[in-house]
Amino acid sequence: MIEKQSDNVENLEENVSEEVNKNEDSSVAENQVSEDKQPLENDDENIYAEDLKNTITNNDARLEQLEKEHETLKSQYVRIAADFDNFRKRQSRDQDDLKVQLVSKALTAILPIVDNFERARQQLKPESEEAQTLHRSYQGLYKQLVEVLKQQGVSPMRVVAQQFDPKLHEAVLREPSQEFYEDIIIEELQRGYHLEGKVLRHALVKVSMGPGQPNSQEPEEKDKVEVEIDSENPNSEEN
């Protein structure tokens, strides 16, 4: 009986010893596994940090490239917008010039009719009632024509007693004048017109050459008279 109890005690001790050994072995194994995992985790962290750094660098480079492309596109846009604005202004200016040219051409063709009305008004002197009625009729047409020209921006030049200007006037004649200085307009031969500040037709004018020179024959005639007087008085030299 006692022997069986001792055997049981020994077996229990052996079991406890084996269990302790197993626990120790498992603890050693777990420590070994944790020690093996630590370097792997460190390597993973290093790799992740390196990848993150590369990603940030690539993103910075891409951002810089996009900013450069943005500046280039912005410069192109500004240049294209400026070119388009200049093109629009040039088109508008060309259209205005073309319009003025067409209007000028049409009005220039009408001006000779106005000239004829003015000549008729100056030359005709109606006396009978019928002639006066006819005169008033075409003068009414003349006034209507002048009014239409005013509405289109046409205005006549005033040139007499003005300084000759080749940009405005065309000198047809030049003659001496005791009344006007040199290059002053003496007479208007054909009226000139402006169209909105621009010359529609130059005025044909007569220009002064300034005070004329004394008649070169006067001294000769005076000398001739004195000679004749002297010849009638032969004793004048002796006296």
Locate the domains of the chain by residue range: 70-152, 154-215
User: Which amino acid is residue 57, in one-letter code?
Assistant: T
Per-residue pLDDT tens digits for 107-142: 899 999 889 888 887 777 777 777 778 778 878 888
Taking the CB of residue 164, how many other CB atoms lie within 10 A of it?
A: 19
The full DSSP string for 112-130 is HHHHHHHHHHHH----SHH
CB 204 within 8 A of CB 170: yes
Global pTM reads 0.54
Class of 154-215 in CATH: mainly beta
Q: Which of 166, 180, 172 is nearest to 212 (CA)?
A: 180
Per-residue pLDDT tens digits for 71-87: 899 899 999 999 999 99
